[in-house]
Amino acid sequence: MRMRKLALVGAALCALVQFADAKTIAVAPGDGAQERLQEALIAAEPGDIVELGVGRFTLTDGLSLDVNNVTVKGQGAVETTLDFAGQQGAGEGLLVTSDDIVLRDFGVENSKGDGIKSKGADRIVYYQLLVEWTGGPKATNGAYGIYPVESKDVLIDSVLVRGASDAGIYVGQSRNIIVRNSTAVENVAGIEIENSIDADVHDNIATHNTGGVLVFDLPNLPQMGGHNVRIFGNIIVDNMTPNFAPKGNIVANVPTGTGIMVMANRKVEIFDNVLADNGTSNVMIVGYRFPFEDSKYDPLPREVVIWDNQHGRAGWDPQFRGGKEIAAAMGGSFPAIFWDGAGGNSSAPNIQDDVPALSLGLTDIKADTSAAQPTSLAMSTARPAALPAIILPESMEAVVR
């Protein structure tokens, strides 16, 4: 035991010595920016800061970072721009595959693929970033703006993403996640939490997307069984941008005018949000109604709880098969909240918002929405114990103070 303690102390001292030599590597825009910036990312050592100067970095290829404990810092999301309009490959603008990374205070424009992707990057912070495709919503835009996947401890704070052809802010197959104080506009999905466990999505603005906030669980992925997701304190309004996702993409099926959509996920809380001007519905809870062969996959939504949200206009133009006919039968408008009925009573959401709510009665997950048998959903009088708040390592929170 004494030898083990000595070894731990020695390792800690080595780390202190290593970070005592940490340096700032300054990179300015201009001639040779592609090579100079990539060389800085390769040469960086743990503890270093790669500091980007004011101006526009004209880049012809994607960038990558694979060194732990590095900060990449610009002079502001508008003041420092990584411009990928001339990118020759189809990959992401910046790819991160290392741990303990801080990305802050710079912008990314017009990458051929995803804007910023991190894979297997634990304890990663995205802070005060701007990722956009400047030509407006197009199927040829990159799929994702901010895209951490297969990670533990993810903080996305004060970012703005515009124009992604899949999701502006996407977190997939990850654990212990916070997305806050951010804006998603003119994407197909504004914010998406997919196949992930333990996530807080709060104090964001999702507007002018096809769908504002999506919580999905999909089959045939290394991590399934997404659960424990809280969506609260957000403004999710006017998500009426026609769906521009490439055909074959799962989000190509998201109806224009969706506020919040929960599909095949469980233990999801939706509360204290402002929801308005979403033409299909403010909140929709659905099963996964596509063919799959994964025997471990559960296509049903379960334990979804909805309370204390502020609802404005919704449901005047439902954009899914059979939606307009159901709306016409109800007097011309679809309800603010609906559940497709997948799984029957055991999957019914717990609804405590005092607004019209509907079940489509499609208990069979293979049934088409055109066969709906709508019935009103009654308000619940009690709700289960609240999910715990997400707590990230103090070192991550210290970055954004």
1 has a pLDDT exceeding 50: no
For strands 175-180 and 197-202, give the pairing: parallel
Q: What token pair was written down for 381? A: 């009088």
Mean pLDDT across 279-291: 96
Residue pair 165/191 in contact by the 8 Å Cβ criterion: no
What pTM, to 2 d.p., does this model score?
A: 0.94
Q: How far is CA 140 from its chain centroid?
A: 20
337 has a pLDDT exceeding 80: yes
Mean pLDDT across 33-38: 98
Q: Provide the pLDDT for residue 293.
A: 94
Local structure of 360: helix, strand or coil: coil
For residues 279 and 201, what is the distance between their CA atoms, to the nearest angstrom?
A: 22
Residue 222: inside a domain, yes or no? yes
Mean pLDDT across 227-250: 97
DSSP 8-class letter at 29: S
Instruction: Write the CB contacts of 18 (distance below 8 Å, at least 6 apart in sequence).
Output: 45, 46, 47
Q: Provide the pLDDT for residue 121.
A: 98
Nearest to 276 by CA among 229, 327, 234: 234
Mean pLDDT (the chain, rounded):
93
Per the DSSP assignment, residues forming a β-bridge with 129 are 106
Q: What token pair was written down for 339? A: 């559940």
4 has a pLDDT exceeding 70: no
Instruction: Write the CB contacts of 304 (distance below 8 Å, at least 6 apart in sequence).
Output: 262, 265, 266, 268, 269, 270, 285, 349, 350
Mean pLDDT across 10-22: 53
Mean pLDDT across 346-364: 95
273 has a pLDDT exceeding 90: yes
Question: 373 lies in which domain range?
Answer: 133-382
Local structure of 4: helix, strand or coil: helix
Burial of 322 (0-12, 13-18, 19+ CB in 10 A): middle
Q: Provide the pLDDT for residue 194.
A: 98
**Torsion, CA 136, CA 138, CA 140, CA 143, rounded to 10:** 90
pLDDT bracket for residue 297 (50, 70, 90): very high
19 has a pLDDT exceeding 90: no
pLDDT bracket for residue 11 (50, 70, 90): very low
Mean pLDDT across 362-373: 87
For residues 219 and 128, what is the distance between their CA atoms, to the nearest angstrom?
A: 33
Residue 170: inside a domain, yes or no? yes
Q: Provide the pLDDT for residue 5.
A: 45
Residue pair 156/203 in contact by the 8 Å Cβ criterion: no
Local structure of 340: helix, strand or coil: coil
Residue 88: inside a domain, yes or no? no
Q: Provide the pLDDT for residue 20.
A: 61
Q: Provide the pLDDT for residue 6.
A: 42
pLDDT bracket for residue 3 (50, 70, 90): very low
pLDDT bracket for residue 16 (50, 70, 90): very low
Residue 16: inside a domain, yes or no? no
Residue 58: inside a domain, yes or no? no
Residue 264: inside a domain, yes or no? yes
Residue 360: inside a domain, yes or no? yes
Q: How far is CA 260 from its chain centroid?
A: 12
Mean pLDDT across 145-161: 98
Q: Provide the pLDDT for residue 208.
A: 98
Instruction: Count structural domains, the chain.
Output: 1
Residue 263: inside a domain, yes or no? yes
